Protein backbone atom coordinates (compact mmCIF):
# COMPACT_ATOMS: atom_id res chain seq x y z
CA UNK A 1 0.00 0.00 0.00
CA UNK A 2 1.34 3.39 -0.97
CA UNK A 3 1.83 5.83 1.87
CA UNK A 4 -0.11 8.61 0.16
CA UNK A 5 -2.64 7.87 -2.55
CA UNK A 6 -4.39 10.15 -4.99
CA UNK A 7 -6.52 9.54 -8.02
CA UNK A 8 -4.23 10.43 -10.91
CA UNK A 9 -7.07 11.78 -13.02
CA UNK A 10 -7.36 13.57 -15.26
CA UNK A 11 -10.26 15.29 -13.53
CA UNK A 12 -12.27 17.63 -15.74
CA UNK A 13 -14.48 20.27 -14.16
CA UNK A 14 -16.51 23.03 -15.86
CA UNK A 15 -15.48 26.59 -15.19
CA UNK A 16 -17.31 28.01 -12.18
CA UNK A 17 -18.00 24.59 -10.63
CA UNK A 18 -16.45 23.05 -7.52
CA UNK A 19 -13.43 20.82 -8.05
CA UNK A 20 -12.94 18.12 -5.41
CA UNK A 21 -9.55 16.47 -4.98
CA UNK A 22 -9.03 13.55 -2.64
CA UNK A 23 -6.10 11.98 -0.83
CA UNK A 24 -5.75 9.05 1.56
CA UNK A 25 -2.75 8.19 3.71
CA UNK A 26 -1.64 5.04 5.46
CA UNK A 27 0.33 6.23 8.51
CA UNK A 28 -2.00 7.12 11.39
CA UNK A 29 0.86 9.06 12.95
CA UNK A 30 0.76 11.60 10.13
CA UNK A 31 0.24 15.01 11.67
CA UNK A 32 0.12 17.68 8.98
CA UNK A 33 -1.25 17.58 5.49
CA UNK A 34 -0.31 19.78 2.57
CA UNK A 35 -1.75 20.62 -0.80
CA UNK A 36 0.52 21.84 -3.57
CA UNK A 37 -0.29 23.04 -7.06
CA UNK A 38 2.17 22.31 -9.83
CA UNK A 39 1.91 23.82 -13.28
CA UNK A 40 3.60 21.97 -16.09
CA UNK A 41 7.33 22.67 -16.08
CA UNK A 42 7.19 24.54 -12.77
CA UNK A 43 8.03 23.62 -9.19
CA UNK A 44 5.28 22.87 -6.65
CA UNK A 45 3.59 25.82 -5.02
CA UNK A 46 2.07 25.47 -1.55
CA UNK A 47 -1.67 26.17 -1.51
CA UNK A 48 -2.43 25.39 2.11
CA UNK A 49 -1.89 22.95 4.93
CA UNK A 50 -4.15 21.51 7.65
CA UNK A 51 -3.45 19.61 10.84
CA UNK A 52 -6.77 19.60 12.74
CA UNK A 53 -9.86 17.61 11.89
CA UNK A 54 -12.46 19.61 10.04
CA UNK A 55 -12.34 22.30 7.41
CA UNK A 56 -9.87 25.08 6.74
CA UNK A 57 -10.71 27.77 4.24
CA UNK A 58 -8.42 30.12 2.33
CA UNK A 59 -10.12 32.12 -0.38
CA UNK A 60 -11.56 29.75 -2.97
CA UNK A 61 -9.77 26.78 -1.42
CA UNK A 62 -11.02 24.58 1.41
CA UNK A 63 -9.02 21.71 2.89
CA UNK A 64 -10.91 19.02 4.76
CA UNK A 65 -9.29 16.53 7.13
CA UNK A 66 -10.72 13.37 8.66
CA UNK A 67 -8.02 11.61 10.65
CA UNK A 68 -10.29 8.72 11.65
CA UNK A 69 -10.79 7.89 7.98
CA UNK A 70 -7.22 8.92 7.07
CA UNK A 71 -8.60 11.16 4.40
CA UNK A 72 -7.85 14.71 3.31
CA UNK A 73 -9.46 16.63 0.49
CA UNK A 74 -9.16 19.94 -1.31
CA UNK A 75 -12.16 21.80 -2.66
CA UNK A 76 -11.74 24.56 -5.20
CA UNK A 77 -14.80 26.79 -5.53
CA UNK A 78 -15.61 28.83 -8.62
CA UNK A 79 -12.99 26.93 -10.63
CA UNK A 80 -11.05 28.99 -13.14
CA UNK A 81 -9.04 27.86 -16.19
CA UNK A 82 -5.94 29.05 -14.32
CA UNK A 83 -6.62 26.31 -11.75
CA UNK A 84 -5.74 23.70 -14.38
CA UNK A 85 -2.66 22.01 -12.94
CA UNK A 86 -1.51 18.92 -11.08
CA UNK A 87 -2.40 18.93 -7.40
CA UNK A 88 -0.09 17.13 -5.01
CA UNK A 89 -1.05 15.91 -1.56
CA UNK A 90 1.74 15.52 1.01
CA UNK A 91 1.85 14.33 4.60
CA UNK A 92 4.27 15.27 7.36
CA UNK A 93 5.38 13.42 10.48
CA UNK A 94 6.95 15.44 13.30
CA UNK A 95 10.19 13.80 14.23
CA UNK A 96 10.52 12.53 10.69
CA UNK A 97 10.62 16.14 9.47
CA UNK A 98 9.98 15.30 5.84
CA UNK A 99 7.10 15.39 3.42
CA UNK A 100 5.83 12.29 1.64
CA UNK A 101 4.01 13.06 -1.58
CA UNK A 102 1.20 11.39 -3.43
CA UNK A 103 1.35 10.89 -7.17
CA UNK A 104 -0.80 13.93 -7.87
CA UNK A 105 -4.14 14.55 -9.58
CA UNK A 106 -4.22 16.34 -12.90
CA UNK A 107 -7.08 18.84 -12.95
CA UNK A 108 -8.44 20.48 -16.08
CA UNK A 109 -10.97 23.30 -15.88
CA UNK A 110 -13.10 23.44 -18.99
CA UNK A 111 -14.10 26.97 -20.10
Residue 12, beta-bridge partner list: 108
CB of 89 to other proteins, least distance (A): 9
Please give the Cα distance from 95 to 65 (Å, whole number).
21
Binder to other proteins among 20, 22, 70, 100 (CB under 8 A)?
100
- Examine residue 44 and tell whether it contacts other proteins (CB under 8 A): yes
- Examine residue 54 and tell whether it contacts other proteins (CB under 8 A): no
Terminal-residue alpha carbon distance, the chain: 36
- Examine residue 70 and tell whether it contacts other proteins (CB under 8 A): no
Contact region with other proteins (CB under 8 A), list: 22-30, 36-44, 56-64, 71-79: 36-44
Q: What share of the chain is helix, strand, coil (3-state, %, to 5)?
A: 5, 55, 40
Which residue number, 41 or 111, has a Cβ lying nearer to other proteins? 41
Please give the Cα distance from 16 to 61 (Å, whole number).
13
Phi, psi of 62 (to 5 degrees): -130, 125
Binder to other proteins among 20, 22, 103, 108 (CB under 8 A)?
103
- Examine residue 42 and tell whether it contacts other proteins (CB under 8 A): yes
Phi, psi of 81 (to 5 degrees): -55, -30
List contacts with other proteins (CB under 8 A). 34, 41-46, 49, 88, 97-104
Amino acid sequence: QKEVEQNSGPLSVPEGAIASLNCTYSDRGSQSFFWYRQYSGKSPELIMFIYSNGDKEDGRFTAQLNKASQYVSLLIRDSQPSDSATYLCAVFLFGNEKLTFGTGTRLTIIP
